[in-house]
């Protein structure tokens, strides 16, 4: 301590309470200098003494004061070894800096460092690879691909994925170069494009409305101009409107005031049979449109055609032919119309320019119309799939009438036993009535039609339904069959369905197993049977139910007409619930079709052999859509757009169930996404600007009509652009997730099942249903 005081300054001595004379300090400093080794340079003697004192105290703590500290004999050798090790650790740290454990080896504990060195030593085989890899890495660095190689190593990309990553970078660089050179590409803005598309849809709809307003304004101006030119005709028309007692007939009024009447009412809607009685000879119209021309005979249209400067026929050659017109009530067993009756469409169609109308907007589910589209229209109808609703009734189903069990053997003969069995057709009628009552209870907001092969079978359904409603105590059920409803329940033979549309159609065959005659087959035994089936299969909007007591096997070889053959195929189609006949990869569970009971010869208690679609998980004919909708050709690849296919993979990684090319029409939806909370319920439609979108050359169809139709069918619609899902797919993945949440929220507050309609109590009884529309069976519907 004295030596420290002698070399320290006054403050040091004062802090430690040292009192030393100046000559004492000089003497102590001389002694210290003599203790310094020869040749040693100690610029700060006090600092050296302080460091030595600190080391002495540390040594005393470590040794307990039992020994004297001294310099190790091989200290210089240890320092040389440590310097070499330090250099090697620094070199290795640089190489290991990009690994998961990092390259900070100096701060690593010795046991962990030894374990890491052991792992590195266990991969000595990599040392032989380094001479080949390092030159390649240097070459990649010289080409500017060093950052790519480092990124692949940092993300531990597998060897199989390196080529795909390289292709991605290559094409991305090309896209960036094109965007840099071409401002039209470089200025791509998805948000702006979506906004432009929305503005176009709004303006296009407004333009359509404005056209109507412009036409109405021009009509008003023309009518005022004609009125000023013909004041006498105006006074005559005003007098007729005032209700003069000796008023003129319509044809006489038009004959005397044709200018004013036709200017005030330029568009006329009338039956072809009334044209001659309301229009005098010589009065012409610029355009005459004959609607449903396939059901009108040329003789009935002559008066209308003679007034036309231009003619437009609207009709369907696959619909029912013209029916005979009569003013008398026909017989119940009247034969269907002959198939050789030619319509005005048949006569004039070959000479007129044809404009096919292939858009089908009636059906809410493609399965309702797909059978007719394939067998009668060669797949020409353009349809869109509807969003599926879990828990709802199947759009296409088969209800089989079970064969009653035979009574136990008694003394009676086998013939007597057969005679005791209930009538199978009578059981079918009861089944149809049960389905009609079930429809009224569960879906009263939907209209209903019941079609039978023969008039006799339709009459039996009417009588049985009348008896059931006489006993019904729920007024709301009776109201569904009120004849004054906007779309009253329709019960008619199959050949009387033309021109009618309903939400649901029940087709009952009324055919028993065994030989069938023409009377039992009804319209199917005639040439128009095929066209009658086509009409029935395109009239339903939401549901089609086939009720039968026969199977396709029962009909095989028994019916020879084309319509009868198609009937067997239709039964099989409904038995599959509207799905593909060929096996297709299963991606979603399917709802089961409804049945009245087991098929004939089956044990209902065991449930074996029941005809229904396989349960989820069976490798049967289940299509890729949640509604059982499959691709028309399962052998074709799901998507031909690799960018969109990769986007579908990213959506699946988010836990979503995604189906590709969803739908049976000519232009299916690119991708659909199921509700994650309700498996089998497809809710989001995703469409891109890829190859499918490019085939839609009509801007209105692509940007407004198709999206509006999909939204109307229940979809949450999401439009994506290939440039975005290629460069930054995460953003559009988020948009799809938002759409899924919006669909789930919408279904939560609106309810997944529509509420039952409750109508205030009304007297229920025979009601007005019993006109049954069969009272019109003598008319042709013209």
Taking only the tens place, the pLDDT of each residue in 520-558 is: 667 777 778 888 888 888 889 999 999 998 887 777 665
CA distance 685 to 677: 17
pLDDT of 415 higher than 80: no
Q: How much is the pLDDT for 610?
A: 31
Question: Strand 658-662 to strand 682-687: parallel, antiparallel, or no bridges (unpaired)?
Answer: unpaired
CA distance 150 to 156: 10
CA distance 38 to 34: 9
Q: What does the pLDDT look like over 8-27, one tens digit per residue? A: 777 777 777 787 787 777 88
Q: What does the pLDDT look like over 271-280, one tens digit per residue? A: 888 888 888 8
Q: How much is the pLDDT for 418?
A: 37
Which of the four pLDDT bands, split at 50, 70 and 90, describes residue 498?
A: confident
Which of the four pLDDT bands, split at 50, 70 and 90, describes residue 612?
A: very low
Q: What is the mean pLDDT of residues 645-666?
A: 90
pLDDT of 476 higher than 60: yes
The most confident of 118-127, 597-606, 703-712, by mean pLDDT: 703-712
Q: How much is the pLDDT for 735?
A: 94
Q: How much is the pLDDT for 108?
A: 87
Q: What is the mean pLDDT of residues 142-164?
A: 87
Tokens of 456: 């006799």
Count of residues making up the chain: 782
CA angle 571, 575, 580 (to 5 degrees): 100
Which of the four pLDDT bands, split at 50, 70 and 90, describes residue 447?
A: very high
Q: How much is the pLDDT for 678?
A: 85
For 259-272, the DSSP string reads HHHHHH-------G
pLDDT of 620 higher than 50: no
- Would the CA dihedral through 124, 129, 131, 135 be positive or negative? negative
pLDDT of 244 higher than 80: no
CA distance 626 to 453: 33
Lowest mean pLDDT among 181-195, 362-376, 411-425: 411-425
pLDDT of 293 higher than 70: yes
Q: What is the mean pLDDT of residues 115-142?
A: 80
CA 507 from chain center: how many Å?
Answer: 28
Q: How much is the pLDDT for 521?
A: 67
Q: What does the pLDDT look like over 733-761, one tens digit per residue? A: 999 999 999 988 887 655 444 333 333 33
- Would the CA dihedral through 124, 129, 131, 134 be positive or negative? negative
CA distance 685 to 739: 9
Question: Strand 669-674 to strand 490-493: parallel, antiparallel, or no bridges (unpaired)?
Answer: unpaired
Q: What is the mean pLDDT of residues 477-484?
A: 89
Q: What does the pLDDT look like over 311-348, one tens digit per residue? A: 999 988 888 888 766 554 445 455 555 556 788 998 99
How many of the other CB atoms lie within 10 Å of CB of 665? 21
Report the DSSP beta bridge partners of residue 450: 491, 506
Q: How much is the pLDDT for 648?
A: 94
Lowest mean pLDDT among 236-245, 409-418, 506-515, 695-704: 409-418
Q: What does the pLDDT look like over 47-81, one tens digit per residue? A: 888 888 888 888 777 776 666 767 777 888 888 88
pLDDT of 641 higher than 50: yes
Q: What is the mean pLDDT of residues 213-223?
A: 93
Lowest mean pLDDT among 343-347, 412-416, 463-467, 476-480: 412-416
CA distance 567 to 546: 10
pLDDT of 461 higher than 90: yes
Q: How much is the pLDDT for 241?
A: 86
Which of the four pLDDT bands, split at 50, 70 and 90, describes residue 183?
A: confident
Q: How much is the pLDDT for 410?
A: 44
Q: How much is the pLDDT for 340?
A: 65
Q: What percentage of residues in the chain have a pLDDT greater than 70?
A: 79
Cα atoms in the 13 Å half-sphere on the side-chain side of 451: 26
Alpha helices, DSSP H only, in 182-290?
183-186, 190-229, 231-241, 250-256, 258-264, 275-278
CA distance 579 to 382: 18
DSSP single-letter state for residue 703:
I
CA distance 201 to 710: 14
Q: How much is the pLDDT for 619?
A: 31
Tokens of 608: 């074996």
Residue with tokens 């439009």: 719
For 139-159, the DSSP string reads HHHHTT-HHHHHHHHHTT--H
Q: Collapse the DSSP code of 504 into the 3-class scheme (helix H, G, I; strand E, B; otherwise coil) and give the result.
A: strand
For 628-672, the DSSP string reads S---SSTTS-S-S-HHHHHHHHHHHHTT--EEEEESSSSS-EEEE
Q: What is the mean pLDDT of the chain?
A: 77
Which of the four pLDDT bands, split at 50, 70 and 90, describes residue 717?
A: very high
Integer angstrom CA distances of residue 376 from 261, 321, 536, 537, 628: 44, 15, 12, 10, 22
Q: How much is the pLDDT for 333?
A: 52
Which of the four pLDDT bands, split at 50, 70 and 90, describes residue 515?
A: low
Contact 594, 394 (CB under 8 A): yes
pLDDT of 193 higher than 60: yes
pLDDT of 349 higher than 60: yes
Nearest to 650 by CA among 735, 589, 741: 735
Q: How much is the pLDDT for 326?
A: 55
């Amino acid at each position: 301590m004295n030596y420290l005081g002698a070399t320290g300054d006054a403050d040091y001595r004062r802090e430690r309470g040292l009192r030393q004379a100046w000559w004492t300090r000089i003497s102590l400093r001389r002694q210290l200098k003599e203790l310094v080794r020869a040749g040693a340079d100690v610029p700060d003697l006090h600092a050296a003494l302080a460091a030595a004192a600190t080391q002495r105290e540390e040594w005393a703590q470590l040794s307990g004061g039992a020994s004297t500290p001294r310099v190790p004999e091989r200290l210089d050798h240890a320092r040389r070894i440590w310097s070499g090790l330090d250099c090697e650790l620094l070199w290795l740290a640089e190489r290991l800096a990009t690994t998961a454990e990092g390259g900070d080896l100096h701060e690593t504990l010795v046991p962990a460092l030894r374990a890491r060195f052991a792992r590195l030593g266990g991969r000595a085989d990599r040392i032989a690879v380094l001479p080949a890899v390092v030159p390649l890495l240097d070459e990649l660095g010289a080409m500017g691909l060093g950052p790519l190689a480092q990124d692949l190593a940092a993300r531990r990309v597998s060897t199989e994925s390196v080529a795909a990553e390289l292709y991605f970078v290559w094409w991305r660089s090309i896209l960036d170069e094109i965007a840099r050179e071409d401002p039209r590409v470089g200025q791509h803005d998805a948000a702006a494009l979506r906004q432009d598309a929305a503005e176009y849809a709004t303006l296009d709809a407004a333009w359509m409305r404005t056209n109507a307003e412009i036409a109405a304004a021009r009509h008003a101006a023309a009518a005022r101009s004609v009125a000023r030119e013909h004041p006498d005709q105006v006074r005559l028309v005003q007098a007729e409107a005032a209700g003069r007692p000796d008023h003129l007939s319509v044809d006489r009024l038009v004959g005397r005031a044709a200018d004013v009447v036709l200017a005030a009412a330029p568009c006329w809607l009338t039956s072809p049979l009334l044209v001659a009685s309301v229009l005098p000879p010589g009065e012409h119209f610029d355009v005459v449109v004959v609607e449903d021309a396939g059901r009108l005979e040329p003789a009935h249209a002559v008066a209308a055609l003679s007034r036309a400067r231009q003619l437009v026929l609207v009709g369907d050659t696959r619909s029912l032919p013209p029916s005979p017109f009569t003013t008398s009530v026909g017989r119940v067993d009247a034969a269907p119309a002959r198939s050789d009756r030619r319509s005005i469409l048949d006569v004039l169609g070959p000479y007129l320019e044809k404009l096919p109308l292939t858009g089908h907007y009636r059906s809410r589910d493609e399965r309702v119309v797909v059978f007719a589209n394939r067998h009668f229209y060669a797949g020409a109808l353009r349809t869109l799939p509807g969003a599926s609703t879990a828990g709802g009734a199947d759009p296409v189903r088969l209800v089989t009438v079970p064969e009653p069990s035979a009574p136990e053997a008694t003394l009676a003969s086998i013939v007597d036993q057969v005679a005791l069995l209930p009538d199978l057709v009578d059981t079918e009628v009861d089944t149809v009535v049960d389905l009609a009552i079930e429809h009224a209870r569960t879906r009263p907001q939907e209209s209903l039609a019941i079609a039978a092969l023969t008039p006799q079978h339709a009459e039996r359904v009417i009588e049985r339904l009348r008896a059931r409603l006489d006993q019904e105590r729920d007024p709301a059920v009776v109201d569904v069959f009120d004849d004054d409803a906007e779309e009253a329940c329709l019960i008619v033979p199959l050949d009387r369905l033309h021109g009618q549309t309903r939400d649901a159609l029940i087709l009952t065959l009324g055919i028993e197993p065994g030989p069938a005659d023409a009377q039992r087959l009804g319209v199917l035994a005639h040439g128009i049977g095929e066209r009658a089936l086509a009409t029935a299969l395109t009239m339903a909007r939401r549901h089609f139910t086939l009720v039968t007591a026969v199977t396709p096997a029962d009909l095989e070889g028994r019916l020879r007409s084309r319509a009868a053959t198609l009937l067997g195929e239709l039964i099989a189609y409904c038995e599959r619930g509207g799905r593909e006949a060929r096996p297709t990869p299963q991606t979603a569970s399917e709802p089961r079709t409804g049945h009245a009971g087991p098929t004939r010869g089956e044990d209902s208690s065991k449930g074996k052999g029941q005809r229904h679609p396989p349960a989820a998980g069976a490798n049967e004919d289940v299509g890729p859509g949640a509604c059982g909708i499959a691709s028309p050709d399962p052998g074709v690849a799901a998507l031909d757009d690799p960018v969109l296919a990769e986007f579908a993979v990213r959506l699946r990684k988010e836990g979503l169930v995604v189906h590709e090319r969803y739908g049976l029409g000519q232009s299916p939806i690119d991708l659909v996404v199921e509700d994650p909370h309700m498996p089998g319920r497809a809710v989001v439609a995703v469409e891109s600007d890829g190859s499918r979108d490019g085939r839609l050359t009509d801007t209105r169809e692509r940007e407004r009509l198709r999206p509006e139709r999909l939204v109307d069918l229940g979809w949450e619609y999401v439009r994506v652009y290939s440039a975005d899902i290629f460069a930054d797919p995460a953003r559009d993945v988020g948009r799809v997730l938002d759409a899924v949440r919006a669909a789930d929220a919408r279904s939560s507050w609106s309810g997944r099942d529509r509420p039952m309609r409750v109508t205030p109590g009304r007297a229920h009884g025979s009601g007005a249903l019993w006109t049954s529309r069969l009272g019109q069976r003598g008319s042709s519907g013209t």
